[in-house]
Structure formats: structure tokens, C-alpha cells
Amino acid sequence: MINYNDAFNSAKLIPGAHRYLPGWKKKSKAFREMMNEQSKAQIDVVYDEETNLLMDVFSPGPYVEATVVFLYGGFWTDYEKSIFSYLAMGPVLNNMRVIIPTLPKCPDATIPEINKAFVKCLRLICRRFTGDILLVGQQSGAHVIGRSLVQYELSDRVKERIKHALLISPISDLKPLLYTDKREELLLTEEIANSETLSDLNLSDNIKVTIWVGADERPIYLEQAQQLAAAWKCSWVKSINRHHLDIADGLGKNSSKLMTTLLAYRLN
């Protein structure tokens, strides 16, 4: 039987994996300080007073072409939004506002509750900001975004605002997580695993989705990316020489392949 604890342990085979988190924090702190100095950052904006959920908003200036909403990973349990501020650099340099919200975490909430919280967050963003919306998520964050895009989750008014969704190394099939040590912390049951598996759900019509995964990631991420792309009939990219801890770094650059792919909606 497959050892799924090992299968999802991306850091195990990445040289110097322990250095990535401090590096992310350092780059994000510098980015926030720069944006604050330019009065282009709003940190810890309350978007849900009932649960005190917050979001960081980074703006390019007076002209805003679109709004990018980014959800980070962490298997629904780990990390804080401030760690990933540096990934807003690429969109900001392309005249896009970037919103990085917090969401509830397991075990304080179930995965379905987290998914519903994001739908609520997305509706609020649509009310507060005008223009096109691009959704980007990594790992469990990609799952949350993907779950919002299935049929009957969003109103037509919200869906027509979403021009592109980029799912980076998505966890699309939750069933293998039933056989990991995270099952209890995730409050994961067979019923939830089945109902929240993206590849078993239908993508809403007329939503452009691209799946992006590193060629050097663990096989389970490659398999799940390909599985979801096949189920949703969307394009997927296997990024050469990228692994789970650096696969999203292209978001922090002005003209990376990842940014170019995200901005491809402009050509439609």
C-alpha cells in the first residue's frame, strides 16, 4: 500500500528545504515595507467581522487593470498570509491589485466550511472592487479556489467577473488524505473526501482554468494535476526544474512564464 504520508511530504526530497520559509518571510517583509512606504498597501483589512478574518491588499497605483486573489497552501492548517506577500510583486508590476485573504483553518473549521468562507470572501471582493478578477491558489489554496468554481457555487454575476483561475500544484483528490496522519486534524471523513474531490465535480461553464505543477514535484501532485485537467478539460503545464517549494515563485516576477500564463486572459 502507498505510504501517503510520504507521498505528500514534498520537503523531504528538496535540498535545503528548511531555508525556504525564512526566505519567504524575509522577501515578504521587504515587499510590505516598500509598498507601505509608497502608500500602496492595506494590511489586516477586516472583511468578516463575525470571525475577524483579514486580508492584505496591495495596489499598483491609481490605474488598476484587474484584481488578483491569491490563496496560499499549507494543507488547510498552516501558514499566515504575511509569509506570501512577495508573490504579489509580479501582478502589481502588471498594474494589478492583489488581495491575500486569511481563511478559517482546520481543525477549527472543516474543509467544506473553509470553502464556503472563501465564497463569501469572493462575493465581498466583487462588491468592494470593480473590474476583472483572477484567482490564483497553491496546493490546498488551489483546492479552495477550484471548489468555488464548480457548478452552482457562484452567482452568474460573480462568475462573469472571473477571467482566469490558475491552480498551482492543486490537491484535487482528497481521498488519499484519509490515509495520512493529517486526517484527524483535517476533520476528514469519507463523506467529506468524496464530496470535496474536485475531479468528481463539474466545472462551471465559461471559466478559464489553467493547472500549473512543477516537473520535480512528488508524483502525487503531478498525478492529481493531470487527473483534474482531464476531468475539467482544461490546460495544464508541467514547469521544468520546479518543485513544490519554488513552483509559485514566478508570481513574484514581472514577466515569468507563470505570470505570462496568468495574464493570457488578455488575449481572449
Contact 113, 188 (CB under 8 A): no
Q: What is residue 189's predicted lDDT score, i.e. its pLDDT?
A: 98
Against a cut of 0.95, is the pTM above it? yes
Residue ranges and CATH numbers for the domains of the chain are: 4-267 (3.40.50.1820)
d(CA 144, CA 109): 13
Residues of the chain with pLDDT under 50: none
Predicted confidence (pLDDT) per residue in 139-162, tens digit: 999 999 999 999 999 999 999 999
Q: What is residue 266's predicted lDDT score, i.e. its pLDDT?
A: 78
Predicted confidence (pLDDT) per residue in 87-101, tens digit: 999 999 999 999 999
d(CA 109, CA 174): 16
Neighbouring C-alpha atoms within 13 Å toward the C-beta of 185: 10
